[in-house]
């Protein structure tokens, strides 16, 4: 919208907005363009699958049965989206109109404000898959909900209902579906009116330690990811699909 300076990104990767290499590559490019475009003041992110899924996590197919080169490309994109969103110089608000699990939860945690539809699910279930969540997923959750709540959640791979997520501050508002977009937009319209250099610097200052840690550790994390997936991918993928079919333990 040219008058408000707000851009809406509607994720629409069938069937359930998995964070595939293609989706991530397009999104990173779009966000980098927006960052340079002075006419854009803020970004609202939502999903085409209104009332169903916001993001169903990383794409299982991109993590299984791939060459090391392809795995590296995928994981670099996973790291890049995290870093690009978390260090984004303009306000980003998530209008979470469906489930946002695993990589989907980490994605919304990088935003500045989260409005989520009641009765849906979010959280980092990696422990239920028998794996450790990437350190930058853990760090962003810790910075949003605090160390103790993060321990309670991650040690058991807890999947929160929207209402539970709102109680611990994992999302900022739990609302009926029809209010997700309007409430998210209202918050964003407020955020874009804050003097932008102050907004950007304050955000940078708050997030600087995590960003520096991320930059220092990303190469090692990429190596570890490729080794782990080469060894364990069959097991991990089977667990993920088990939870797609059976649902997560609450
Ligand atoms: C080793 C390093 C990895 C470290 C970090 C990992 C992070 C991750 O993000 S791993 C991926 C974790 N994601 C999940 O476990 C979510 C799995 N999905 C679900 O639990 C559900 O799909 C849902 C709760 C998000 C939505 O449920 P529902 O509305 O009932 O939709 P369906 O389960 O029928 O799913 C529709 C369709 O989408 C396919 N799908 C869903 N998630 C994924 C995925 N992550 N990767 C690939 N495909 C996925 C699902 O199989 C269905 O496909 P069809 O059967 O062909 O319709």
Q: What is the pTM of this model?
A: 0.95
pLDDT tens across 187-236, in order?
999 999 999 999 999 999 999 999 999 999 999 999 999 888 777 766 67
Cis peptide preceding 115, ω within 30 of 0: no
Determine the Cα–Cα distance for residues 248 and 193; give it in Å rounded to an integer. 40
| CATH T-level assignment (fold) for domain 6-191 | 2-enoyl-CoA Hydratase; Chain A, domain 1 (3.90.226)
Residues 6+ apart with CB under 8 A from 18: 55, 56, 57, 58, 59, 60
Question: Please, are residues 129 and 157 in contact by the beta-carbon 8 Å criterion?
Answer: yes
Residues 6+ apart with CB under 8 A from 142: 150
Could you tell me the distance, in angstroms and rounded to a whole number, from the CA of residue 118 to the centre of ligand 1? Answer: 20
Asked if residue 245 has pLDDT above 70, the reply is no
Cβ–ligand 1 distance for 236 under 6 Å, the answer yes
Could you tell me the distance, in angstroms and rounded to a whole number, from the CA of residue 15 to the centre of ligand 1? Answer: 9
Determine the Cα–Cα distance for residues 246 and 244; give it in Å rounded to an integer. 6
pLDDT tens across 57-79, in order?
999 889 887 888 999 999 999 99
User: Strand order of the sheet with strand 42-47?
Assistant: 6-11, 42-47, 92-96, 113-117, 173-175
Quote the distance between the C-alpha of residue 224 and its chain's center: 21
Cβ–ligand 1 distance for 56 under 6 Å, the answer yes
pLDDT for position 247: 75
For residue 129, the ligand 1 atom closest to its alpha carbon is 15
Question: In 3-state terms, what secondary structure has residue 87?
Answer: coil
Cβ–ligand 1 distance for 228 under 6 Å, the answer yes
Q: Respond yes or no on whether ipTM tops 0.90.
A: yes
Rounded mean pLDDT of the chain?
Answer: 93
CB atoms under 10 Å from CB of 202, counted, come to: 11
CB atoms under 10 Å from CB of 163, counted, come to: 13
Could you tell me the distance, in angstroms and rounded to a whole number, from the CA of residue 179 to the centre of ligand 1? Answer: 25
For the chain, percent of residues with pLDDT exceeding 70: 94
Q: Any idea where the domains of the chain sit in the sequence?
A: 6-191
Determine the Cα–Cα distance for residues 76 and 218; give it in Å rounded to an integer. 9
DSSP for residue 114? E
Measure CA of the first residue to CA of the last residue in the chain; give whole Å: 40
pLDDT tens across 21-38, in order?
999 999 999 999 999 999
Cβ–ligand 1 distance for 123 under 6 Å, the answer no
């Amino acid at each position: 919208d040219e008058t408000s300076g707000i851009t809406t990104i509607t994720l629409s990767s069938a069937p359930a907005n998995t964070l595939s290499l293609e989706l991530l590559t397009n999104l990173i490019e779009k966000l980098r363009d927006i960052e340079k475009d002075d006419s854009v003041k803020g970004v609202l992110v939502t999903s085409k699958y209104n009332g169903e899924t916001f993001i169903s996590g990383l794409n299982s197919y991109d993590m299984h049965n791939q060459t090391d080169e392809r795995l590296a490309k995928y994981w670099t994109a996973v790291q890049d989206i995290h870093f690009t969103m978390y260090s984004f110089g303009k306000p980003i608000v998530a209008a979470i109109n469906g489930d946002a699990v695993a990589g989907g939860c980490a994605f919304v945690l990088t935003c500045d404000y989260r409005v989520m539809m009641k009765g849906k699910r979010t959280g980092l279930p990696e422990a239920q898959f028998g794996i450790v969540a990437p350190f930058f997923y853990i760090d962003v959750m810790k910075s949003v909900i605090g160390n103790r709540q993060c321990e309670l959640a991650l040690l058991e791979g807890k999947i929160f209902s929207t209402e539970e997520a709102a109680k611990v501050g994992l999302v900022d508002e739990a609302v009926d579906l029809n209010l997700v977009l309007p409430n998210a937009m209202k918050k964003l319209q407020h955020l874009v009116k804050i003097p932008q250099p102050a907004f950007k610097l304050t955000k940078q200052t708050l997030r600087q330690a995590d960003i520096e840690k991320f930059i220092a550790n990303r190469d090692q994390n990429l190596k570890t990811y490729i080794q782990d997936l080469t060894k364990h991918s069959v097991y991990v993928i089977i667990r993920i699909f088990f939870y797609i079919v059976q649902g997560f333990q609450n």
